[in-house]
Structures are given as structure tokens and as C-alpha cells.
Chain A
Amino acid sequence: MKTDTKKAAVPREPWFAARRELSAKRAAVLTVFSFSLPLLIWCAVSYLPFLWHPDVELKISADREGVTTVYTPGDRVSEEFFPQFEEAVREQNRQVEPLMSLLKPVEAGSEASIRRANKKVLRHLASLLVENGWLTEEQTKDDAAIFAAWKEIATGARLPERPRLSHENLEIIRRNWAAMSAYSDVYDSDNFVSRPLLSLIPQGRPANPDYLPAPHEVLISGYKEFSKPAEAERPSMWQRVGHSMRIVFGGFLLAALVGVPIGVICGTYSFFSKLIEPFTDFFRYMPAPTFSTLLVVVFLANDAPKMALVFIGTIFQLVLVVANTTRRLDLPLLEAAQTLGANQLQLLTKVVIPGILPNLYNDLRILLGWAWTWLVIAELVGVKSGLTEFIETQGRWRNFDSVYPVIILIGLIGFFTDQILSFLRGIFFPWTSDGAAAASNPLAKGLLFVPRFFKGAANERLPYHPDSTSPKQA
């Protein structure tokens, strides 16, 4: 037989292997991707104009005669509609063109209304000028300033950059300016052009629908909303956050306070299990929101009915989950305790309860997540309140860039609460495998120092110190 002289290459660990743990480094990389990928997709869809962008966000818009729907700059129209819109305005201009000529007389008495319409045309540029920094937000109705800007553009002294005006619109501005300057070179409300002006042709840029704002828009709106101070009728965003958390945690804590003891006795004694669990099992299928009107009648206004909804939405699940966890406790532990002389009460307090605590803690962690899902429905009960009221109102105004920060914040609160609780589990329960992991964590070591310090002090006082005995290890 030939001996294999080829040096065996160290096989690379596969990325995909059923039920195999990845290395810590790979796991960390994937965790980072887990958050950055969705964010990256969001950025790509928002900032790459060739991805999706089915709408046109108007930068310049024009009123049309005899049409009820008015689009203003910032509005979005669909890609399909935009050319029709442009064409409609061009058609309108074709009808106005002959009237622009100074040679043809204007119908007597119509001068005032034409002047009024012309002032609207004048302001068509207003939001574009604001975006280019020529005007401030407050100056959008400052006709004199806008008039001056028209002059600058028409004479070519300065041209807006964001966006550039189309040649078509530049031409219209020059022609309109010619008409305007024929009356006066500076803005004069009483001596404003009274011959019809041409409307600007709509201009815009590709945009996503308003329900998908770009990340930076969400960030900016979020910052603005969260830094607004409270007003008389309008709580600050942080007050809203506090209110919402009070309802979720309040309802959940009440449910835990009532549900955990019931769950534990159901899991311990078949008597209570058979008496309580079947009805609980039935009740939990009735959706909690169906009780909302009832809850308002019983608990009246304010937060009570809202917390009650979280309570009802959580407690039935909680009882069943806790009962199940209690039943999963190793039966031989109970038998061992009995052979060591534990009575019924001691079995419950010294074996069942300490035995299930780590799992109970985990259950409550999961059920707290469950309680969060009732938040929005609970806050709609009775008078809308908290974060939900804000989401509702802003959503109705289609200010989705303000809605997203709140939704994301709710997610972050829930996520970090869970992460913290999961971390604390190892500290609370040092005998579990989590505990072993936590003991090696520097933060946990710091937190564990305090109880150890007192325990150590207690040991010093004992006459029989563990280190003084020689171990008889075989």
C-alpha cells in the first residue's frame, strides 16, 4: 500500500453545519450583520434613486385652472401621473400665451383677479428658494423678497442649484419677468402685473412614497420630536415614553403578582391544576381587546382600563406558562426532599419555588415581551394616550418620518429591557450555566462583590473555617 505523503490541509470549519456552534468571532460578525443589513437595505432603497422610487417629489408645483386637487412642493405624485401633470400645465400656458401680449386688451374688471393669480405664480418659486437658502422659512410669504429673486434668476445674476431649473422653466421665468418688470422693477403690490403670467412647469425628483422616509429624515424628525419641551396640552416625548412604560410594566407586574402564585400552585397540586387551568385555557382565546369597552365601564377613565387590558392580555398565558414550568421541575428532587423530611409547606417553599426560579425568571422575561405587544391597543382604550396617541395623530397627517422614531424607540426599549434581564439572570442564579458565564464577566464580578463581601464577613466570625480543614481527597 502507498503511504499518503501529502500533508493534510487543516480543514476549514464550515459556515453551514447543522446544529454546530460557530466560533465567537463568526457569531459576533453575524450579530453585527443582523442589525446592519436591514439598515443597509433601508439606506440603499432610500438613497439609490434607481432602486424603487416610484413617486416624484415635487419641487415646483403649479395650480391648474378648474382642478380641485392642489399639489404643493413636497407632495409626491406617481411616476405615471407626473408627465400628465406637466402636460396639463403646458396646455394651460398655451392658452395664456396669447393674452400675455401687451397688444391685446384685457377684459375690463378682470385685472384684480389676474393680479391675484399672478401673485400665486410669483410664490411658485418660494419653497425652491428656501431649499436653496435664498430665503428663510419665514419668508415664504415675503413677496418682495421673492420678487427680487425672480429678478436675479431672470437676469442670470444667480441661479438656484438644488434642483437646477429646467430650460423650459428658465424661459418661462424670463418671459414672466419681462411682463412683471414692464410694470415695476421692484415689488409693488398695487402696481403688480395684471396681464396673465405663465405657470411654471412642475419639476421634481424621484422619491419613495411618504410611508418610507429616508434614515436621515427619520433621525432628524426623531431628534426634533424628542427635544421638544412639554406644552400645556401636549406632553413631551419622554413623558409619553414614561406613560407608555408605566402602562406596560404596571399591567405586567399586576399580572405577575396574581398569576405567578396561581401558576405555581397549579403546577404543584393537580387539584388546582384541574380546577383552574381548563377555564384559563379557554379564557385566553378571547382576545383581550374585545374587553376594552367593558374595561372602560368598569375601570372608568385614565390609565386603569389600559393597565387592565395589558393585565388581561398577559395573565392567562402567564398562569399556564408558569404552571408548565413548575411541572417541569425534576420530580425526584421533590421525592429526595421528602425523604429528607420536608413537609408539604417546605416542599413548596424550599424546593418548588427555588427550583423553578431561573425558569420562572425566563418565562417572565418572555411574557414581558408579550405584554409590550398590548401597548398600542391598550393606549387606544378610552382616551388615547402616550406614544400611541402621537403615532396615531402623526400617522393620520402622514408624518411618517415622525412615527418611525417612536416605533423604533419602543422596539429598543423592549430589546434592551430583555437584554439587561437576560444578563442579570446569570447574576441572580449563579448555579445555572448562565451563572457560570456571568461569573467570568467583569461587570458581573463587580456586581457580585457586594453580596460576597457581606458573606465573607459572616464566614470570618465562624469558629470553623473551611480552609482550616485538610481535605481528604482520594
Chain B
Amino acid sequence: MIAIQEPDPLQYLVQRPDVSERFAALKKRPVVLSVQHLYKEFECQTGAVTALKDVSFDVYRREFMCVIGPSGCGKSTLIRILAGLESSSDGQVLLDGNPVTGPGPDRGMVFQSYTLFPWLTVKQNVMFGPRMSGQRGTSAESEARQWIDLVGLSKFENSYPHHLSGGMKQRVAIARALANRPRILLMDEPFGALDAQTRSQMQSYLLQIWRNLDLTILFITHDLDEAAFLADRILVLKANPGEVNEIIEVPVPRPRTPSQFITPEFVATKYHIDQLIHPNHGGSEDTLPFPRMTPQGDDVE
């Protein structure tokens, strides 16, 4: 990033006509998830800590939204509240207009730590959700097979999770969440534990799945490339307390390919997010107070 010439700070706002048309169409879609004036306060030993402060945003049907922010901005707290795993201190979360009160199958969740049930095979893991809602028999099983097929793991349907690689585990986790046909898929840094190659592979898988299903995705990440590559819009949070900093409409046209990483729209978007998250960065490296410990003339740079 440092090597690239600094772009115009406002260039990320420039959208091609087809891109702005897409956004206009997107905003006409119904709102699936509506977050309204959400607050979250924790009791700590040092006193009350505000993790989230007046967070409001809407996610439209079939939108791909990423949430990004510096560490400690409450991204995970936010998604856990949306999933119903934690309660908010104030404000409300509406799913299709109905308030969210607890965890439920209408909001699928994919965790960073895979969370596959180790005692169930891949197929049984995918069937877990439907079974909880009382679905039985061969129809549930063949449906599970279709989801496994969709993530390309038919060969492994009878394997136990400990035989799978990290990327494969995460694909099973996605299939398992999709098998419940959720209204929205919440993903909490799902590819954070994967190596770089597997991660980019998983990103294209996810985009393919998203493109072909009636699926709304809210995706948390700390990776700027990942956010700019995947998202329609990026929700940027501020830290201490966690507040909405800006909601960025990504001007990179779809369909996305890794070759777009060097397009001006992409670079401008990434530069802008970087400025928002690391305002003191200033383009210069953070220097360590480190004395020279090598002889003169033996320089590497």
C-alpha cells in the first residue's frame, strides 16, 4: 500500500453508472435486518464499559454487508447480539420487522472456530438444524446431501470433522447454517483462522453461493481486502465506544474477481477504510526505538 501512489481521498465516492444503478435497486429491496439505536454496556472491575453506542443500520434483502473496525470496536458483540446470543442494553433488532429476542434458526451463524459437532459426520452436522425443528427421514437426508454438494464435499459426507482441513470444516459450517434456510447469514470472521490461499478460495466460494441463493449476509472481518472484495456496503465502526463511523458503498463493480484488487475503485476504497480505522497512520511507518546493531556498510535496505 505504501508503494502505491496516494489516491484522491474522495475517489471512493465515484461510482460507475452500472454500480450506482445496482445500489439504487438494492435500496428498493425490503429491509431484512434493521438495527435501531443499539447500546451495549458491560460491567467490568473498572466500572461500566460501553461496547456499542447508538448503532443503527439496515441490511436489505440479498445484500452482502461487511462490518469492519479497529480491535475493541465491538464487532463481535454486535453480531452476537444480532444472533441473540447476547442481549442489548438498549435499542432493538428487527428481523423482517419482528424484534429479535434470542437465538433462532432464522439467523444462521458461522463462527471463526468452525464449531462443528465432532461426534457427528459431515452429513449429520448439516442435518442438525432440520432435525432440531423435527424434520426426519430421507427427505431431510437428501436435502442435506444437496447442501453438501453445493459446498463440494460430497466425497466427505460420512467423514468426521477431525478428518477435514480448516477450509473444508468452514464449508461444512456454511452448509449447516444454510440447511436451516435462514433469512440472514451472520459470519463472525469466518475465514480468520485460514491460511491466505484457502481464505481467498473460500471468499470466491462464498460469493458463488451468495449469488445463487436468496441469501443476505452480514460478514465481520478485520481484513480490508476481504471487506472490499466481498461487500456491497461496508459498515465501519469506531472503537471505544463502538459507534457507526461510516457506511461505505463499495464502488467496485460485480461480479468480483481477484484481478480487481488493483483497480482504482478498489484501491481508493481500501485507502479510505484504512484512513478511517487508523487515522494516525499518516503514511509513515511506526518506528521502533531500536538502535543499530550491525556494522556500517552491512545494510539490507
CB pair B105 A433 closer than 8 Å: no
CB pair B149 A469 closer than 8 Å: yes
**Does any Cβ of A come within 8 Å of B154's Cβ?**
yes
Which residues B121-142 have CB closer than 8 A to chain A? 128-129, 131-133, 138, 141-142
CB distance from B85 to the nearest CB of A (A): 5
CB pair A341 B104 closer than 8 Å: yes
CB pair B103 A431 closer than 8 Å: no
**Does any Cβ of B come within 8 Å of A429's Cβ?**
yes
Which residues B97-116 have CB closer than 8 A to chain A? 102-105, 107-109, 111, 113, 115
CB distance from A434 to the nearest CB of B (A): 11
CB pair A338 B145 closer than 8 Å: no
When C-beta atoms are compared, the residue in chain B nearest to A347 turns out to be B132
**Does any Cβ of A come within 8 Å of B264's Cβ?**
no
**Does any Cβ of A come within 8 Å of B253's Cβ?**
no
CB distance from A263 to the nearest CB of B (A): 19
Chain A contacts of B83 at CB under 8 A?
335, 339
Cα distance A469–B156 when bound, in Å? 12
> Which one of A87-95, A104-112, A350-358 is at the interface?
A350-358
CB pair B155 A340 closer than 8 Å: no
CB distance from B106 to the nearest CB of A (A): 9
**Does any Cβ of A come within 8 Å of B161's Cβ?**
yes
CB pair B128 A340 closer than 8 Å: yes
| Size category, B interface | 35 or more
CB pair B85 A335 closer than 8 Å: yes
Chain A contacts of B177 at CB under 8 A?
339-340
| A-B contacts at CB below 8 angstroms, number | 111
0/1 string, B165-198, CB within 8 A of A gives 1: 0000000010011001000001000000000000
Chain B contacts of A471 at CB under 8 A?
152-155
CB pair A357 B85 closer than 8 Å: no
CB pair B157 A466 closer than 8 Å: yes
Chain B contacts of A354 at CB under 8 A?
117, 119-120
**Does any Cβ of B come within 8 Å of A346's Cβ?**
yes
Cα distance A446–B145 when bound, in Å? 29
CB distance from B128 to the nearest CB of A (A): 6
CB pair A469 B108 closer than 8 Å: no
Cα distance A351–B115 when bound, in Å? 11
Known contacts A355-B117, A469-B149; is-contact A339 B154 (Cβ 8 Å): no
Cα distance A337–B129 when bound, in Å? 8
**Does any Cβ of B come within 8 Å of A457's Cβ?**
no
0/1 string, A318-338, CB within 8 A of B gives 1: 000000000000101101111
When C-beta atoms are compared, the residue in chain B nearest to A435 turns out to be B160
Known contacts A335-B103, A341-B104; is-contact A464 B119 (Cβ 8 Å): no
0/1 string, B221-255, CB within 8 A of A gives 1: 00000000000000000000000000000000000
**Does any Cβ of A come within 8 Å of B118's Cβ?**
yes
CB pair B154 A429 closer than 8 Å: no
**Does any Cβ of B come within 8 Å of A31's Cβ?**
no
**Does any Cβ of B come within 8 Å of A343's Cβ?**
yes
**Does any Cβ of B come within 8 Å of A430's Cβ?**
yes
CB pair B115 A336 closer than 8 Å: yes
Known contacts A335-B103, A339-B85, A354-B119; is-contact A463 B162 (Cβ 8 Å): no
CB pair A474 B105 closer than 8 Å: no
When C-beta atoms are compared, the residue in chain A nearest to B150 turns out to be A472
Cα distance A19–B142 when bound, in Å? 47
CB pair A462 B138 closer than 8 Å: yes
Complex partner residue of B145 from A429, A431, A433, A466, CB under 8 angstroms: A466
**Does any Cβ of A come within 8 Å of B257's Cβ?**
no
Complex partner residue of A340 from B105, B113, B142, CB under 8 angstroms: B105
Chain B contacts of A342 at CB under 8 A?
128, 132
**Does any Cβ of A come within 8 Å of B71's Cβ?**
no
Chain A contacts of B131 at CB under 8 A?
350
**Does any Cβ of B come within 8 Å of A440's Cβ?**
no
Chain B contacts of A474 at CB under 8 A?
152, 201, 205
**Does any Cβ of B come within 8 Å of A290's Cβ?**
no
Cα distance A430–B159 when bound, in Å? 10
**Does any Cβ of B come within 8 Å of A84's Cβ?**
no
CB pair B115 A330 closer than 8 Å: yes
CB pair A338 B133 closer than 8 Å: no
Cα distance A282–B107 when bound, in Å? 44
CB pair B160 A430 closer than 8 Å: yes
Cα distance A472–B83 when bound, in Å? 31
CB pair A333 B157 closer than 8 Å: no
Cα distance A33–B170 when bound, in Å? 46
When C-beta atoms are compared, the residue in chain B nearest to A455 turns out to be B158
CB pair A333 B117 closer than 8 Å: yes
0/1 string, B79-102, CB within 8 A of A gives 1: 000011100000000000000001
When C-beta atoms are compared, the residue in chain A nearest to B121 turns out to be A431
CB distance from A354 to the nearest CB of B (A): 5
Chain A contacts of B120 at CB under 8 A?
354, 431
Contacts A/B (CB < 8 Å), 15 sampled: A332-B111, A335-B115, A336-B173, A339-B177, A340-B105, A340-B128, A350-B131, A350-B132, A354-B120, A432-B118, A466-B145, A466-B154, A472-B152, A473-B155, A474-B201
5 smallest A-B Cβ distances: which pairs? Answer: A341-B105, A338-B103, A336-B115, A340-B129, A339-B109
